[in-house]
Amino acid sequence: MEVPDYALPYFDTVGADPGVEDMHKVVCVDGRRPELPQDFSLPTGPPSPSLAALAGVCRAATECWYDSPAARLAAFRVKKTLASLQQAHLLRKAQESDDEDKIV
């Protein structure tokens, strides 16, 4: 997987130092959302713990961006989702570490 070069969200629309009005127009009026690389949200094959966690964060973020407020994740749901992703990430890392110890 190739990691893209870092760029600020909406850099192609608002420039390097946008004001509140600029961001309001882009996000609230135009309805734009940051672009997430496909590699981050759709892992193929057995994902590494880091890639699986990143895919989960991307999925949660996109669920917070729905146009309808009723369809968006509630703050408490976001908190629980992130805690669950963290727990799963730590568990996968521990399992990988155990597997590596068995190989040696």
Spell out a b/e string for 9-26, using b for 16 or more CB atoms within 10 Å of the CB, else e.
ebeeebeeebeeeeeeeb
**pLDDT at site 32:** 92
Q: Is residue 5 part of a domain?
A: no
- Residue 33 included in any domain: yes
Whether this prediction's pTM lies above 0.85 is answered by: no
Position 67 in a domain = yes
Structure tokens given for 53? 């966690």
Tell me whether residue 4 is in a domain. Answer: no
Cα 72 from Cα 78, distance rounded (Å): 10
Q: How many structural domains comprise the chain?
A: 1
Is the separation of the CB atoms in 53 and 88 below 8 Å?
yes
Residues of the chain above pLDDT 70, percent: 82
Q: Does a structural domain hold residue 1?
A: no
Stretch 66-95: mean pLDDT: 91
Examine residue 75 and state whether it is found in any structural domain, yes or no.
Answer: yes
Is residue 76 predicted with pLDDT exceeding 90?
yes
- Asked whether residue 6 is domain-assigned, the answer is no
Domain of 19?
11-103
